[in-house]
Chain A
Amino acid sequence: MSTAVVDLRGVTKSFGPHRVLDGVDLELAEGTVTVILGPSGSGKSTLLRTINHLEKVDRGQVRVGGTLIGYRQVGDRLHELPERDILRQRSRIGFVFQQFNLFPHLTVLDNVIEAPLSAQGRKRSEVEPEARQLLERVGLGDKAAAYPRQLSGGQQQRVAIARALALHPDVILFDEPTSALDPELVGEVLAVIKELARDGATLVVVTHEVGFAREVADTVVFLDAGRVVEQGPPSQVIDHPVHERTRAFIDRVL
């Protein structure tokens, strides 16, 4: 048993004949920021989505906070859990989507408090002030009553981050959080993520922002064709990559 918050062992996943993840092992310690880099189609997003069981794995196991995600072990077999239990496990894992996926028919505040109320069964009187604080923290204290479509992309993504934080998650997963944003809005979202990192949250970020990775990441994982090619601190993986494929990728994006 390790003390890792997120612990992946031999995670393998295929879509039809195409093997997207091929025996990925990953251990992420508490309070660390992990950035996953890799060419498109390398399985980055799929890997992230296996952590909260949005994608089922074909082989291997995923543990978050020591708990096996999505399955129950009986002998040497894994039985998939009922959906109710999986949903409960997910409410401990924050997820931020590339396309924000805010609920457009609910106000910003209702977006943030929905899951704490319905997934965690907490009281509105306790959740609402906390949600307002979170919105304050991402710089949107005055937008609680607005609807998502009245906000810019950067503001929407910050609401999505507040929505994830409201669950008090063990880890927050970011799936290309700035890829759908206009260039001038990328900075405000990255700033919020950096601040979370400073506050000691455990984060996993799939991104193309190499500059962000170098500045914030404790560990950079380079993924190619569903395998971890190289991992280590940014000073190693980004600035002095060992593998040819990593070097080629870094040269291309920098």
Chain B
Amino acid sequence: MSTTSVARPVGDSPPVDGAGPAATPRAGEDPSSPHGIPAHDTGAGLTVVPRRNPWTWVGVVAVLILVAMFVNGLATNPGWDWPTFAQYFATETIIRALGTTIQLTVLGTIAGFALGVVLAAMRLSHNAFLRTVAWAYIWAFRSIPLIVQLLFWFNIAYLYQTISFGLPFGPSFGSVQTNDLFGALGAAVLGLALHQAAYAAEIIRGGILSVDEGQREAAAALGIPRHRQFFRIVLPQAMRSILPNAANEVISLFKGTSIVSVLAIPELFYQVQVIYGRNSRVVPLLLVATVWYIILTTLLTIGQYYVERHFAKGSARALPPTPVQKVRARWAGLALRARRETAEVAR
């Protein structure tokens, strides 16, 4: 349907029969039914039937068949090797590796987003110097592949054996061996955080730009200090559009930590590779890693729902109930009805 016909001013439409003077009841007619339609048929008593969509059901059936075939394959194809999966799924090695993966994700997220906030604020600053520095950082770290960056930090001792502290081109006050400064895990966290910061900065900047300029102006007119304007007024409102993208980033970082297996850090993916290197059971061990990734991504997604809800405060007249609240309300309704029924039976 074209929207132009909707936009046309009402006055342009040809007069509908019955509108205007024609609507005056003609002689001999019941005034409540201008077109001779019986009064009870004017539309007041008609039932509304929602639009039917039969193709939905065709789709549902097709998808159910495909899912059934897949599940059947999982259960019957011996190649999935579920006994091996069960054997390794919760072994200490895997759990410890999972811990390392989570640690990398948490540290990478915290450091990455902390630096990202600073970079976003710099990019939006009035100061051209800060803007340029932030722009150059983001340009550089989005251009360099993460894997190259990780290998670079891991091998930095090859370029700089010692790091000394002193005046540029002047005397040095002391120095440390680069290898003592951080190990493989340190290199991994540093690489992930610096990489993450560049992306986080752009997501946060986008969120801040989405906040109405009037908000910052009102805060400025009230004399609220600069940092408070940012953290109390603008950022919480920006969070609404930052969060879905940020959750994406955290989840992709969580799975992306598998890339640090190049540094021989015993995170989940590396550990799984080590094990199937020994016993050649590639598929069930990949499944072990995948199922853990699915479980934790699910937890993150649930967390995302509640964090988004928190920052939606004040954005709607009333927040919709959470799934838990919905279940509880339904359960309370059922319990109430059951109680009423038993009371009736007792009577």
Residues in A lying within 8 Å of B, measured CB to CB? 52, 54, 83-84, 87-93, 95, 97, 99, 101-107, 114-115, 118-120, 147-150, 163, 167
Q: Quick check: is B332 within 8 A (CB to CB) of the other chain?
A: no
Q: Which 6 A-B pairs have the closest CB atoms?
A: A91-B223, A101-B218, A147-B314, A115-B222, A119-B223, A95-B221
B243 to chain A, nearest CB (A): 13
- In the bound assembly, the distance between CA atoms of A147 and B315 in angstroms comes to 8
Which applies to chain B's interface (DSSP): helix, strand, loop or mixed? helix
**Contact in complex: A105, B315 (CB < 8 Å):** yes
Partner pick for A104 among B224, B232, B314, CB 8 A cutoff? B314
Q: How many chain B residues have a CB neighbour from A under 8 Å?
A: 24
**Contact in complex: B215, A101 (CB < 8 Å):** yes
Interface string of B23-41 (1 = CB under 8 A from A): 0000000000000000000
**Contact in complex: A54, B223 (CB < 8 Å):** no
**Contact in complex: B224, A87 (CB < 8 Å):** yes
Residues in B lying within 8 Å of A, measured CB to CB? 212, 214-215, 217-226, 228, 232-233, 236-237, 311, 313-317
Q: List 12 A-B contacts (CB under 8 A).
A: A52-B221, A54-B220, A87-B223, A87-B224, A90-B221, A90-B222, A95-B222, A101-B212, A105-B315, A115-B223, A115-B224, A149-B317
- In the bound assembly, the distance between CA atoms of A84 and B237 in angstroms comes to 23
**Contact in complex: B236, A118 (CB < 8 Å):** no
B221: A residues at CB distance < 8 A = 52, 54, 90, 93, 95, 97
A150: B residues at CB distance < 8 A = 317
With A54-B217, A97-B214, A105-B236 as given contacts, are A149 and B225 in contact (CB-CB < 8 Å)? no
**Contact in complex: B315, A90 (CB < 8 Å):** no
Report the nearest B residue to A119, measured CB to CB.
B223
With A104-B315, A105-B237, A118-B232 as given contacts, are A84 and B214 in contact (CB-CB < 8 Å)? no
Partner pick for B218 among A83, A93, A103, A167, CB 8 A cutoff? A103
**Contact in complex: B317, A105 (CB < 8 Å):** no
A155 to chain B, nearest CB (A): 13
**Contact in complex: B217, A101 (CB < 8 Å):** yes
With A149-B315, A149-B316 as given contacts, are A99 and B223 in contact (CB-CB < 8 Å)? no
A161 to chain B, nearest CB (A): 13
**Contact in complex: A87, B225 (CB < 8 Å):** yes
A105: B residues at CB distance < 8 A = 236-237, 311, 313-315
A70 to chain B, nearest CB (A): 12
Report the nearest A residue to B212, measured CB to CB.
A101
A23 to chain B, nearest CB (A): 25
- In the bound assembly, the distance between CA atoms of A101 and B222 in angstroms comes to 11
- In the bound assembly, the distance between CA atoms of A99 and B226 in angstroms comes to 22
**Contact in complex: B314, A148 (CB < 8 Å):** yes
- In the bound assembly, the distance between CA atoms of A92 and B236 in angstroms comes to 26
A83: B residues at CB distance < 8 A = 226
A52: B residues at CB distance < 8 A = 221
B217: A residues at CB distance < 8 A = 54, 97, 101
With A104-B314, A105-B311 as given contacts, are A89 and B222 in contact (CB-CB < 8 Å)? no
**Contact in complex: B223, A167 (CB < 8 Å):** yes
- In the bound assembly, the distance between CA atoms of A106 and B219 in angstroms comes to 13
B315: A residues at CB distance < 8 A = 104-105, 149
A106: B residues at CB distance < 8 A = 314
